[in-house]
Structure 1
Amino acid sequence: MPVTRRPSVPNLQRGMAILEYLATHQRSATIAELSERLGYPSASVFRITQAFAELGYLSRDPVTKQFRLTNKLLLLGQPHGRDRGLVEASIPAMRQLNQATSETTQLCCLVDTGIVVLEQLLATHPFKYSAELGARCPAYSCAPGKAILASLPDDERDDLLRRIRFKRFTPTTITDRRLFREELAAICECGFAVDRAEGMAGVHCVAAAVRDRNGYPAGALTIAAPASRVPEEDFGRVGKLVIQAVRLAETNYGQ
C-alpha cells in the first residue's frame, strides 16, 4: 500500500523553528548559536535570518551579531479590513483603567499555552511593575491567562489544559489540575480573574477577558501591582474597574 507523504517545505519549517526558538528559549542568538542549537547548516540559518531581517521580523545587534524578534510579529495577529485592531481598540480602555487604579495596565493575548504582552501603560507610582512588550508567561500562573482560559469554548479549553505542564513558581502557584479547573469556574461566575502572586512573588494582578463580536476571548486587560498596594481585600473593587474597562474595549473592538 503506497504511503502518503505530507508536504514538506524545509526552509519554511526551519524559519518557523528559528522564530519559535527566539520566542520561547532565548531572547537573542547569533547564527552560530542558532545553527548549533537547532542542528541546521550555518548557510541555511544565514539565508533565513537575513530574509526575516529584511522583512522586519528580526533585528541584528551590530556589536554582538545576535538576532532578536521585533514587535512586527505582533501585527500578524491583528484583524484587518473593517475590524479595528485589538491594541488600537483597547488603548482608551487601558487609559481609563490606568487612571482609575494608578497601576500598570496591560493588554495580553493567548499564544499556545502562554500569555504575551501586547501593550502596556505604566503605573504612576515611583515603584511599579513593568514588562517588555512581547514578554511571555504561562497562562495558568497569571490573571490574564486565567481570564482567557475561563472564557474559551469548552473543547478548546480542555485541549489546552491537557497540554499544560504545571510548574510551581511561588508558594501560591496553582499546580493541581482539579483546583485549577475550580479556579476557572469561579472566574466564569464573577467575571474577572486574579493572580495572588502566583507567577511572581509580591505581585498581584486582576484581569478580565476582552471578547470579539462573536464572543471569543481575543485578549485580556489586566492591572499588575505590588501586593501591598492591591491586597486581596481590594480584588473585588479593582475587578469591577477592570470589567468596566473591558466593556469599553469590547465596544471599540466590535465597531
Structure 2
Amino acid sequence: MQENPAMSLSNPGDSLFVQSLARGMSVLEAFREADGPLSLAQIATRAGLTRSAAQRLVHTFRKLGYLTLSEDGRGFRLDLPILDLTHDYLRLNPLVRRASPVLLELRRNVRERVDLSLFDGRRMVYAARMQSKRETFFATLVGNSVPTACTSGGWAVMAMLPDDEVDAILEGQQIPQITPRTLTDPSAIREQITLARANGHALAIEQILMGEVAVGVAIPDADGRPIAAIHIAASLSEWAPEDFRRRVAPLAAEAVRSILSN
C-alpha cells in the first residue's frame, strides 16, 4: 500500500494549514490501492486516525455523498461524486486538454494502445487511455499509476532530469518486481535512461505486462522539465521490438511536438 500523504502532514508553524481538513482527506486517501470496501477499523488504521475520529469523518463523507456502504453493509467504498472531481480535474488540466485530440489521431495511426501519463515523482499516473483490442480491466482505468522506474514513459521522463533527481527516484525506494523481466537494479535502469537520452525515447519490454512492448516519449513544460509522457504499447506476438520502435517512436515524437505547439 502506498503511503497516505495526509498521515504524515504536520504543519505547526503554518497558520493557514487546516489540520482537520487534512484528516478528512486522509479518509479518502485510505482507499488508495484497497482491494475492496474498507471497514471503519481499516479506514482508521490506513488514515492514522482514532476510531472515533474516523467514524465522524466517514459519517460526514456519507452525508456529502463521497462514501457509501458496500452492498453487503460490512464496509464503505467511494461513491460517484469522486468521479465528478476526477472529471473536473481532467477537463481543466491544460495538458490533458491539448493532448486529447493529438492522442486520438495518434491512436488512429498506430492502431495500438496509446496512453498519457503524468509525472508525479516516483510514479506515473495515467490521465488518458486509448485502448487496443486486448486489455485487462485495471489497465484501462484512468488514475491507475505505475512506478516511474518501471515504464517506458518513466524512463523517458528520467532521461530529461538531472542525475541527482534520477538518483533520488531510484535510490529512495524498493523497485517492485512487477513481472519476471522488470528491471529492479538501479544500474540497469540507468542504462535504459542513458539510451533514452541518446534516442529521444525509451523502449521497454515486458516491464509491466508480460508479452508487451512499449515506447515512451516525455513531454516537457515551458522550462524543459518533464511533466508527462506518451506511451504506445503493443503485443510481442505481433511486433518485434526494433520494428515497433522504428514504426511508432517517430509518431510519438511528432505527437509531443504537436502538443507543445498547441
Query: Which TM class, normalised by the smaller chain length?
Result: 0.7 to 0.9
- Residue in structure 2 matching 1:157, options 161, 166, 172: 166
- Residue in structure 1 matching 2:203, options 194, 201, 212: 194
Q: Is the contact between residue 91 and residue 97 of structure 2 (CA under 8 Å) also seen in structure 1?
A: no
CA deviation digits over 1:110-130, x for unaligned, max 9? 22311211111122x3x3464
Residue 207 of structure 1 corresponds to 216
Residue 41 of structure 1 corresponds to 50
Q: Is the contact between residue 106 and residue 223 of structure 1 (CA under 8 Å) also seen in structure 2?
A: yes
Shift of 1:108: 0.6
Q: Supply the distance in 2 between the matched residues of 1:76 and 1:152 (Cα, whole angstroms).
A: 30
SS at match of 2:159: helix
**Uncovered stretches (5+) of structure 2, i.e. residues with no partner:** 1-11
SS at match of 1:248: helix
CA deviation digits over 1:204-237, x for unaligned, max 9? 2111111122212121111122222333122232
Shift of 1:91: 0.6
TM-score normalised by structure 2 residue count: 0.78
Residue 60 of structure 1 corresponds to 68
State how 1:1-255 maps to structure 2 within 5 Å: 10-26=19-35, 28-49=37-58, 58-60=66-68, 63-64=71-72, 65-68=75-78, 70-71=82-83, 74=86, 85-123=94-132, 125=133, 127-128=134-135, 130-233=139-242, 234-252=244-262
**Identity across the alignment (%):** 26
SS at match of 1:151: coil
Shift of 1:96: 1.7
**Uncovered stretches (5+) of structure 1, i.e. residues with no partner:** none
- Residues 192 and 23 (structure 1 numbering): CA distance in 2 closer, same or farther, change over 3 Å? same
Aligned Cα root-mean-square deviation (Å): 3.0
Relative contact order, CA 8 A, sep 6+: which one is greater?
Answer: 1
Shift of 1:99: 0.8
Q: Is the contact between residue 90 and residue 97 of structure 2 (CA under 8 Å) also seen in structure 1?
A: no
- Residues 92 and 76 (structure 1 numbering): CA distance in 2 closer, same or farther, change over 3 Å? closer
- Residues 94 and 79 (structure 1 numbering): CA distance in 2 closer, same or farther, change over 3 Å? closer
TM-score normalised by structure 1 residue count: 0.80
Q: Is the contact between residue 58 and residue 67 of structure 2 (CA under 8 Å) also seen in structure 1?
A: no
SS at match of 1:23: coil
- Residues 174 and 95 (structure 1 numbering): CA distance in 2 closer, same or farther, change over 3 Å? same
Number of equivalenced pairs: 243
Shift of 1:98: 0.3
- Residues 103 and 128 (structure 1 numbering): CA distance in 2 closer, same or farther, change over 3 Å? farther
Q: Supply the distance in 2 between the matched residues of 1:79 and 1:158 (Cα, whole angstroms).
A: 34
CA deviation digits over 1:115-162, x for unaligned, max 9? 211111122x3x346421111111111112222222234443332222
Shift of 1:20: 3.6
